[in-house]
Amino acid sequence: MAWRRIHLVADAAVQLRVVTRAEAAAFEAALGPLIEQAHRLATAMLHDSAAAQDVVQEASIKAWRKLDRLRPGSELRPWYMGIVANECRTTLRSRWRRSVVPLQGQVRGAAGPEDATVAAQDTLRAMRTLRHKDRLVLALHFYLDMPVEDIADVVGTSMPAAKARLYRAIHRLRVRLGDPEAPS
């Protein structure tokens, strides 16, 4: 086996397994296109780019360690985004970042770039007041343009349940933004 480079990688059970360079390269090639999306998801969830980078790195390591848990025939994207989402939840809990920012300065009929910036900041503040589950489905749908089927895989529910969760999260966000057209 001197002709083949071998890497020892610790798996989730802290046991060692032998991994060829080709296997490591295949995993890296499959995960590579998802890193930017994972960073956008983590940034949307944490509102902190540096923390998002840490989360994506940790999620990538966990994905490598738990690769044997990916069901044959399943897509990597929803499974990996679920790991990223769980890492975000863990980060939020561990850093005690549950401060609620009060909504201020609601702008209706925003026309200029400053108004659009204020409206975007208001939306981010409102999202921070939502529960993790609501922020997750909103970020997956609106930031990553994921279809409801993939959102269901990430959050571990059926497609109708994911659709209902997305609808309720949008409703809660509209209420927090003071949308007069939000159903009561």
For 24-83, what is each residue's pLDDT tens digit? 788 888 889 999 999 999 998 888 888 899 999 999 999 988 888 888 888 889 999 999
- Please check whether residues 83 and 20 belong to one and the same domain: yes
Instruction: State the average pLDDT over residues 5-34.
Output: 61
Q: Answer whether residue 174 is part of any domain.
A: yes
Q: Tokens 């909504």 label which residue?
A: 103
Mean per-residue pLDDT, 14-27: 65
The total of structural domains in the chain comes to 2
- In this structure, the answer to whether residues 88 and 159 fall within a common structural domain is no
Q: What local confidence, expressed as pLDDT, does residue 168 receive?
A: 92
Q: For residue 106, is it within any domain? A: no
Inside any domain, residue 1: no
Q: Name the burial class of residue 80, with classes exposed (0-12), middle (13-18) and buried (19+) by CB atoms within 10 angstroms of its CB.
A: buried
**Cβ proximity of 51 and 42 under 8 Å:** yes
Closest CA to 84 of 74, 76, 94: 76
Higher model confidence: residue 11 or residue 63?
A: 63
Which residues, in sequence order, are CB contacts of 54 under 8 Å at separation 6+? 91
Enclosing domain of residue 71: 7-98
If asked whether residues 25 and 62 sit together in one domain, one would say yes
CA 108 to chain centre: 29
Whether 95 has a pLDDT exceeding 90, the answer reads: no
Mean pLDDT of the chain: 76
Q: How confident is the model at residue 23 (pLDDT cuts 50, 70, 90)?
A: confident
Answering whether pTM is above 0.85, one says: no
